[in-house]
Structure 1
Amino acid sequence: MRLSFAKPTALRKKGVLCMNKRNIDYIGRCNPRKFYKRVDDKLTTKQLAIANDIAVPALIGVVREQHEIEEIPEMVLREDGFVIKPSKGSGGKGILVITKVEEGRYYKPNGQEVVPSEVYRHVSNILSGLFSLGGSPDVAIVEGLIQFDPVFDGYSYEGVPDIRLIVYKGFPVMGMLRLSTAASDGKANLHQGAVGVGVDIGTGKGLHAVQFDTPVDLHPDTNKILTDIQVPHWDFLLHTASKAYEMCEMGYLGTDMVLDKVKGPLLLELNARPGLAIQIANNRGILPYLNHVDSLGNHNMTVDERVEYAKKHFAHSAQL
């Protein structure tokens, strides 16, 4: 089934969630506006996660004012690498990844040198709101570099893969692994050319893969078979996603997580407006799962119970 080019009537029959319905029936109905800062502001998300015993990438520092930019070299002096990102950014914009620090010189994953003046200019742009939602002034977060888990060797190009889970009323209902490519410039961003691999909620096994909304069998840069992927720590990832629902009190939520080879699963960020391409990656619509959760009414399930329920009822082999 090609979800991206099908007629609207065919999409509805396949249970595909469209943007208008997502915005009105799920985001608008389930995500209270007063809680948006918990997910739109990455610094707030990080602080909430730490308070709720959810592991996140290490916070090296925060730059709030233009005059603080010159403190960055001292801030990262003892780091092997670091990431600078806007606190209120979206779509992966404004993220600068430095994988090597050597005698005051900074290097990107592709080996390109970034001189300090370029780092300063980038942070200045973040503070001015160039990458923030609505263009409002922002702060820059300086985080520790995530150590790539070797389990994904050959499945990603120059970047760290991340795991997106859609959580509805506390139930993880659909999952996807995002793999960077040369086309995406080492970023796990589907719109820029990363590969999306649908992942079975029941097992963590790869199901189906797409790049630019087109099915692919092999990673375009490494020729690895994408459906051979088995995501480790799968139960832990599901539990973290379900726990994030209670932390931010958003009924329809996207959770983005990564695997660090030393620290294990880490929560990267949350999204109150998760995209729809996860359905293409899974080659199926998400609506049947959302309807199923609604049919449960007001449940009192714990995180453990919701995860076990999801693994049983939302697995690829399950019949709704």
Structure 2
Amino acid sequence: MMWANPFRLRRRGVLGMNRRNIDYIGRYNDRRYYPLVDNKLETKLVVRNAGVTVPELLGVVRTQHEIEFIDVVLEPFRQFVIKPAQGSGGRGILVITGREDDGFRKSNGDVWSLRRVKRHLSNILSGLHSLGGRTDVAIIEDLVISDDTFGDLSHEGVPDIRLIVFRGYPVMGMLRLATKASDGKANLHQGAVGVGLDISTGRNVSAVQFDRPITHHPDTGARLDQIAVPHWRELLTLASLCYDVTHLGYLGADLVLDRRRGPLLLELNARPGLTIQIANHEGLVPRLSRIELLEEHSRDPGVRVEFAMQHFVHHPYRGQQSLWESDTPAQGSTG
């Protein structure tokens, strides 16, 4: 791991796990609201009613008996996603991009039989992929088609945008790009690429894989220093609105850009990770403290977004040491 020594991290305002858990999650996240974000179906229904755009819900499988008739449910759809309502880290997500004879073609080209899809659904319901192994339900959603802007930036999977929202103010963001190492999932711990984003513009700040700086996508070879996320203000506004819906003061919002529908919310996280700081070469603490010092917190998501865009502008290092022990970036994969 390429983090610097603890003293330098503290000076740069890097938020550690213990402080995150005590000072932010413990203080600002009322546990009674956790079910709203820990269950993707609950999240979808609640935020949709509040005007937040989400991928279209095609169906829900709640019982083993319903699995027997899943071929009838899926018959109208050539492309869809099946996911556990209480899954985490991308586990249990099945992405179907087309049909092939009597089978279902995945994004990597593999073809699954109907029997295998049924077995996957049965595993979801039994809790194989859920938090704590609890029994679960399966969600069937419309497949998100990535915005053309991202082109060859990602390997197989759809790029998503993680935004940290504190008391309704978006304070830090990154673009997550799937790789072969991450098996097409936008999970940084599994090897996805994280591209830090300037909150004021939606433009790239830096890029990392396995906590080390890189300049190009390790699989596609695409440059990672010329990225500008479209619909940026709208994305920030959707994330900000999620605070009003969930009442969680510290949360992570995962969004995507669909070619047809524009910005969509995928899911929310009451315990968002801290690697977003590595992707941005900047700590969260100064930004969080700036929000805490406000005498009045606006109830208007648009006002909160405008404040964030004005006050959380990314500034180059200006001679400071970066967060890295070494600042020599790799061209692609980290070897």
Query: Which residue among 77, 80, 84 is the counterpart of 2:78?
Result: 80
**Counterparts in 2 of 1:258 and 1:46: CA distance versus 1, 3 Å:** same
Could you tell me which residue of structure 2 aligns to residue 68 of structure 1?
66
| Equivalent residue, structure 2, for 1:23 | 21
In the TM superposition, residue 104 of structure 1 has moved relative to its aligned partner by 3.0
Partner of residue 127, structure 2 = 129
Do the aligned partners of 1:98 and 1:106 also contact (CA within 8 Å) in 2?
Answer: yes
Cα shift at 1:4: 4.1
| 1:38 partnered with 2:65 | no
Unaligned 5+ runs, structure 1: none
Shift in Å, 1:50 = 1.3
Percent identity over the alignment?
Answer: 57
Cα distance in 2 between the residues matched to 1:72 and 1:16: 48
| Aligned twin of 1:307 | 305
Question: 2:100, 2:111 within 8 Å by CA — same for their partners in 1?
Answer: no
| Amino acid in structure 2 at the alignment position of 1:24 | I
Contact in 2 for aligned 1:4/1:280 (Cα 8 Å) = no
Moved more, 96-105 or 138-147: 96-105
What amino acid maps onto 2:165 in structure 1? Answer: V
Shift of 1:103: 3.9
TM-score, structure 2 as length reference: 0.92
Cα distance in 2, alignment partners of residues 159 and 282 from structure 1: 22
Note the 1:46-61 alignment, pairs <5 A: 46-61=44-59
Match of 1:186 in 2: 184
Where 2:26 maps in the other structure, the secondary structure is helix
Matched, 1:247 2:242: no
Q: Verify: 1:108 aligned to 2:98, yes or no.
A: no
Cα deviation, 1:262-290, whole Å, max 9, x if unaligned, reads 01110000000000000000011111000
- Give the superposition deviation at 1:137: 0.7
Q: Residues 18 and 4 (structure 1 numbering): CA distance in 2 closer, same or farther, change over 3 Å?
A: farther
**Deviates further, 117-126 or 285-294:** 117-126
Deviation at 1:26, TM superposition (A): 0.7
In structure 2, what residue type is equivalent to 1:165?
L
Find 1:146's aligned residue among 138, 144, 165: 144
CA RMSD of aligned residues (A): 1.4
SS of the equivalent of 1:100 reads strand
Aligned to 1:210: 208
After TM superposition, the structure 1 = structure 2 runs for residues 170-319 of structure 1, keeping only pairs within 5 Å, are 170-317=168-315
Contact 1:187 / 1:194 at 8 angstroms: preserved in 2?
Answer: yes
The Cα offsets for residues 221-269 of structure 1, whole Å up to 9 and x where unpaired, read as 1211102111000000000000011011100010000011001110000
Distance in 2 separating the partners of 1:318 and 1:19: 26
User: Are residues 1:157 and 2:155 paired?
Assistant: yes
The residue type equivalent to 1:176 in the other structure is: M
SS of the residue aligned with 1:232?
Answer: coil
Amino acid at match of 1:125: N
Shift of 1:186: 1.1
For residues 318 and 226 of structure 1, the distance between their equivalents in structure 2, rounded to whole angstroms, comes to 17
> How many angstroms apart in 1 are the aligned matches of 2:33 and 2:295?
23
CA distance in 2 between partners of 1:300 and 1:219 (Å) = 39
**Secondary structure in 2 matching 1:160:** coil
8 Å Cα contact 1:85/1:141 also seen in 2: yes
State how far apart, in whole Å, the 2-side matches of 1:186 and 1:61 are: 24
Give 1:300 deviation, angstroms.
Answer: 3.1
Distance 1:318 1:184 in 2: 30
Equivalents in 2 of 1:275, 1:178: separation in Å?
13
Separation in structure 1 between the aligned mates of residue 212 and residue 31 of structure 2, nearest angstrom: 35
CA positional deviation for 1:301: 4.4
State the 1:71 CA deviation.
Answer: 2.1
Preserved CA contact (<8 Å) 1:18 1:276: yes
* Structure 1 range deviating more: 100-109 or 189-198: 100-109
**Equivalent AA in structure 2 for residue 200 of structure 1:** D
In the alignment, which of 167, 170, 182 is matched to residue 169 of structure 1? 167
Q: CA deviation at 1:177?
A: 0.2
Note the C-alpha offset of 1:201. 0.2
